[in-house]
């Protein structure tokens, strides 16, 4: 739609109209539009943007489009853009660029900024330090409300967030927090130390981003300060960055629960070869494990030979056990991720799953029994064997499905690996063993 309008204007060389059209759009919409163009046209449209919007639009572009633009820009143009960007965005961009582009970016930043960028790049991946930015508003406690407001007025353009101001001492140690709301409603000569809240919630640069998300959510914060070992303020993390973290962590869990190594890039951008590699290791492990299930069948070959009909119930029993276990493991994995339950609740979880599985097992076994004896010509003793097996399989599956994620958590592993595929493989072997044991017991008179 929008792309066609611009394409038409480009073909007609109506550059002034393009500029006018882009000015009426939101920054995000302009970047969405630019992402649809390639090389020369992209650069041409980007150059038409007003100077103050160019940097903002740039920060929303795909990394390959950012790369194209940096490569064709002059040093001055590069500097103009990177001067306007926040450090957390610069770091995100640098991490995606090839080394020659990174060199060009760093060459065109001031020595001081380069120092900050290098510091931020050194924080471990997924740490608070790696997602923070350093453009925060700091005040001193002996300032008055009005002098604080004048300071804010002067630097407002360069700050990621001016609505939450942090009070620091001479050695940059965090002493308090005060909101712009409090500053504008207080008397002009009120000292900051009377206004500030000394009970500041903060995180350490090395804290995991998952902890950052938990704290922001728990305390309903918009901004969270990040400090070092000496409680010196180093940066801030804003809630919109945490929203990305929450989605990223959920995505990781989704993938891990399906036996896929975490994927960093979006689906369409990851190559088929990388994706194949991310999926194959678990498939190999699970394939080999499943051969043990096969051995159980071989072991009871004589039982199957005597009562051939038994084999036709194998898929139903294996699938139902797997599904029942996957339900419990999913529920528990998600409850652990959201902090609704913890390892100390193990007993409560097992008790609840036992009750649930008991109800579910009885209903399923009853339906199954009625279906077999009314719709098929299966002998009564086989129908009983299958139904009794079903009861045990469902109960055991649900309890194991709920227990393994808690065990993983207790051993500091990610509970998400104890999901569907792994649980199913474990339960398959168990299901068959239970089935053949009952069959040997209940059908001993017909087994040769």
Please give the residues from 154 up to 183 whose contact with its own copies meets the rule CB under 8 A. Answer: 156, 162-163, 180-181
If one asks whether residue 370 binds its own copies (CB under 8 A), the answer comes out as no
If one asks whether residue 239 binds its own copies (CB under 8 A), the answer comes out as yes
Map the footprint of its own copies across residues 26-45, applying CB under 8 A.
26, 28
Q: Which CB sits closer to its own copies, 73 or 396?
A: 396
In the bound complex, what is the minimum distance in angstroms from residue 206's beta carbon to its own copies? 23
Pairing assessment for the beta strands 223-227 and 233-238 based on DSSP bridges: antiparallel
Which range of residues in 103-111, 202-210, 353-361, 437-445 is near its own copies by CB under 8 A?
353-361
If one asks whether residue 425 binds its own copies (CB under 8 A), the answer comes out as yes
Please, is 241 exposed, middle or buried when counting C-beta atoms within 10 Å of its C-beta (0-12, 13-18, 19+)? buried
Map the footprint of its own copies across residues 9-28, applying CB under 8 A.
24-26, 28
Where does 338-379 have alpha helices with state H? Answer: 346-375
Those residues with Cβ within 8 angstroms of residue 237's Cβ, 6 or more apart along the chain or in another chain: 128, 131, 132, 133, 203, 212, 216, 223, 224, 226
Q: Applying CB under 8 A, which of residues 5, 44, 288, 441 lies at the interface with its own copies?
A: 288
Is 33 within 8 Å of 25 (Cβ atoms)?
Answer: yes
If one asks whether residue 382 binds its own copies (CB under 8 A), the answer comes out as no
In the bound complex, what is the minimum distance in angstroms from residue 303's beta carbon to its own copies? 11
Q: Which residue is listed with tokens 């995505």? A: 251
Query: How many other C-beta atoms are found inside a 10 Å radius of the C-beta of residue 144?
Result: 18
Number of residues engaging its own copies in binding (CB under 8 A): 109
Those residues with Cβ within 8 angstroms of residue 350's Cβ, 6 or more apart along the chain or in another chain: 399, 402, 403
Helix H, strand E, coil C: the string for 183-214 is: HHHCCCCCEHHHHCECCCCCEECCCEHHHHHH
Q: Applying CB under 8 A, which of residues 5, 44, 201, 413 lies at the interface with its own copies?
A: 201
If one asks whether residue 306 binds its own copies (CB under 8 A), the answer comes out as no
If one asks whether residue 396 binds its own copies (CB under 8 A), the answer comes out as no
User: How many CA atoms are closer than 13 Å to the CA of 412, on its beta-carbon side?
Assistant: 0
Closest to 313 (Cα-Cα) out of 266, 267, 378, 370:
378
Q: Applying CB under 8 A, which of residues 128, 145, 195, 326 lies at the interface with its own copies?
A: 326
Q: Applying CB under 8 A, which of residues 184, 370, 441, 446 lies at the interface with its own copies?
A: 184
If one asks whether residue 366 binds its own copies (CB under 8 A), the answer comes out as no
Pairing assessment for the beta strands 203-204 and 161-168 based on DSSP bridges: unpaired
If one asks whether residue 94 binds its own copies (CB under 8 A), the answer comes out as no
Q: Applying CB under 8 A, which of residues 36, 38, 103, 294 lies at the interface with its own copies?
A: 294
Q: At what angle do helices 87-96 and 111-122 cross, to 10 degrees?
A: 70
Is 213 within 8 Å of 242 (Cβ atoms)?
Answer: yes
Q: Applying CB under 8 A, which of residues 98, 170, 171, 273 lies at the interface with its own copies?
A: 273
If one asks whether residue 8 binds its own copies (CB under 8 A), the answer comes out as no
In the bound complex, what is the minimum distance in angstroms from residue 51's beta carbon to its own copies? 18
Q: Which CB sits closer to its own copies, 119 or 362?
A: 362
Is 216 within 8 Å of 239 (Cβ atoms)?
Answer: yes
Map the footprint of its own copies across residues 203-232, applying CB under 8 A.
216-220, 222
């Amino acid at each position: 739609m929008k792309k066609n309008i611009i394409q038409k204007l480009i073909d007609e060389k109506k550059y002034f109209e393009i500029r006018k059209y882009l000015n009426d759009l939101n920054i995000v919409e302009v970047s969405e539009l630019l992402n649809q163009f390639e090389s020369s046209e992209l650069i041409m449209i980007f150059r038409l943007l007003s100077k103050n919007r160019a940097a903002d639009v740039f920060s929303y572009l795909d990394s390959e489009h950012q790369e194209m633009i940096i490569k064709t820009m002059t040093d001055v143009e590069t500097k103009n853009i990177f001067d306007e960007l926040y450090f957390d965005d610069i770091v995100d961009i640098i991490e995606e660029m090839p080394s020659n582009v990174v060199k060009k970016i760093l060459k065109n930043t001031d020595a001081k900024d380069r120092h900050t960028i290098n510091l931020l790049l050194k924080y471990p991946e997924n740490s608070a330090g790696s997602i923070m930015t350093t453009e925060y508003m700091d005040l001193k406690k002996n300032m008055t409300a009005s002098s604080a407001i004048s300071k804010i007025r002067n630097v407002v353009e360069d700050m990621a967030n001016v609505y939450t101001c942090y009070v620091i001492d001479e050695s940059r140690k965090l002493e308090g927090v005060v909101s712009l709301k409090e500053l504008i409603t207080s008397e002009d000569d009120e000292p900051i130390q009377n206004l500030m809240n000394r009970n500041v919630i903060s995180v350490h640069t090395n804290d995991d981003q998952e902890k950052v998300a938990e704290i922001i959510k728990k305390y309903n914060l918009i901004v969270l300060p990040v400090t070092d070992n000496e409680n010196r303020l180093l940066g801030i993390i804003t809630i919109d960055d945490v929203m990305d973290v929450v989605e990223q962590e959920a995505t990781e869990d989704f993938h891990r629960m399906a036996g896929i190594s975490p994927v960093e890039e979006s689906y369409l951008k990851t190559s088929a070869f990388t994706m194949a590699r991310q999926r194959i290791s678990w498939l190999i492990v699970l394939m080999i494990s499943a051969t043990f299930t096969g051995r159980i069948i071989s072991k009871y070959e004589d039982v199957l030979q005597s009562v051939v009909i038994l084999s036709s119930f194998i898929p139903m029993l294996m699938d139902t056990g797997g599904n029942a276990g996957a339900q419990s493991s999913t529920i528990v994995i998600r409850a652990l991720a959201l902090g609704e339950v913890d390892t100390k609740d193990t007993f409560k979880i097992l008790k609840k799953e036992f009750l649930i599985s008991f109800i579910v097992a009885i209903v399923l076994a009853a339906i199954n029994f009625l279906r077999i004896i009314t719709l098929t010509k299966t002998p009564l003793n086989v129908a009983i064997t299958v139904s009794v097996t079903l009861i045990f399989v469902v109960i055991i599956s649900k309890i194991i499905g709920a227990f393994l994620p808690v065990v993983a958590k207790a051993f500091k592993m990610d509970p998400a690996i104890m999901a569907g595929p792994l649980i199913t493989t474990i339960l398959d072997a168990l299901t068959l063993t239970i089935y053949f044991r009952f069959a040997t017991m209940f059908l001993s008179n017909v087994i040769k």
